[in-house]
Copies of this chain bind each other. A is one copy, B any other.
């Protein structure tokens, strides 16, 4: 049994705990939280501890799943965890990944541990597709579309507007753009030409709805360049729309192997719950990290370094026989 610890119990931590629970070759040693552990009752029945107790678990956990956020949690804490544990995280601040990787690699090598960074679906499964597709079809162009799904960052930005009680923002791929790519037309597309932003907002009773709509549509970086719709809804309607935080998207590579011989490679994900799927990917990579660490591998690595054979609970022989 692979012994897993989970740090953080937000949406992602909850998804990771569910995934570990459903993995027959893993057990969750504990969920470690900065909140009062008494006040958390995981539906998986896992034990909860204050994160300060983690130090007592050195040697008793094969892999820690770091389920904090990329903005501050991971950059501030993951090197610390990596001193005592093998880790898997979802660090997704793209511009800072090289620096983060370098820093963790040094820590891990010093301490003889192994950390897999930027695991999930993007970065993660989508990154793997971009790398594979580009390698097997070098002469081409690739496109990543996100959605239809909830963007937490954009939802948060709306919630900060005065008069907004709650909000959820869906990123929606523009169908004409997707179809043009699928037809192999290789269009030049900005992020705004690929995606719509649909906003659902619960306003305070006395709020000026026209003002809120204007504030959203003119918000720089987040909305100003995009085609945006704003719909005011009740709290009940919002809850239903938000669901379990659905998401997904496509990676499409279109290219040719010789003149006018076209190829189209596409990966698509349709996820009822972004955090549950991300948690499930983390669990598979926890398995890989546990196995690779056992073989003596140390340092910080990405999905690009990990052969798929390590991800599966099946023996290699079984994989070759049934999946190759």
Contact = CB atoms under 8 A, between A and B. Distances in A.
A258 B324 contact: no
Contacts of A23: 138
Contact of A267 (B98, B266, B277, B302): B266
Interface in A278-324: 279-281, 284, 287, 302-309, 311-313, 316-317, 319-321, 323-324
Nearest to A133: B125
Contact of A136 (B18, B97, B280, B305): B280
Interface string A262-276: 111111111111001
Contacts of A287: 135
Interface residues of A, number: 66
A217 interface: no
Given A97-B324, A98-B317, A136 B311 contact: yes
Given A266-B267, A272-B262, A277-B257, A97 B304 contact: no
A15 B257 contact: yes
A238 to B, nearest CB: 19
B280 A257 contact: yes
A279 B257 contact: yes
Nearest to A318: B98
A272 B280 contact: no
A234 interface: no
B308 A320 contact: no
B265 A272 contact: no
A308 B128 contact: yes
A203 to B, nearest CB: 30
A304 B277 contact: no
A148 interface: no
Given A264-B269, A324-B97, A307 B309 contact: no
A64 B153 CA distance: 50
A43 to B, nearest CB: 9
Contacts of A244: 261
Contacts of A264: 268-271
Contacts of A139: 22
A2 interface: no
Interface of A: 15, 18-19, 22-23, 94, 97-98, 101, 118, 123, 125, 127-132, 134-139, 244, 256-258, 261-273, 276-277, 279-281, 284, 287, 302-309, 311-313, 316-317, 319-321, 323-324
Given A101-B320, A264-B271, 20 more contacts: A15-B257, A97-B320, A118-B324, A127-B324, A129-B267, A131-B311, A131-B323, A135-B312, A135-B313, A136-B311, A138-B284, A256-B272, A257-B277, A261-B273, A263-B269, A263-B270, A263-B271, A266-B267, A266-B268, A304-B324
The 8 closest A-B pairs by CB, nearest first: A135-B311, A257-B276, A264-B270, A304-B309, A135-B284, A130-B323, A127-B324, A135-B312
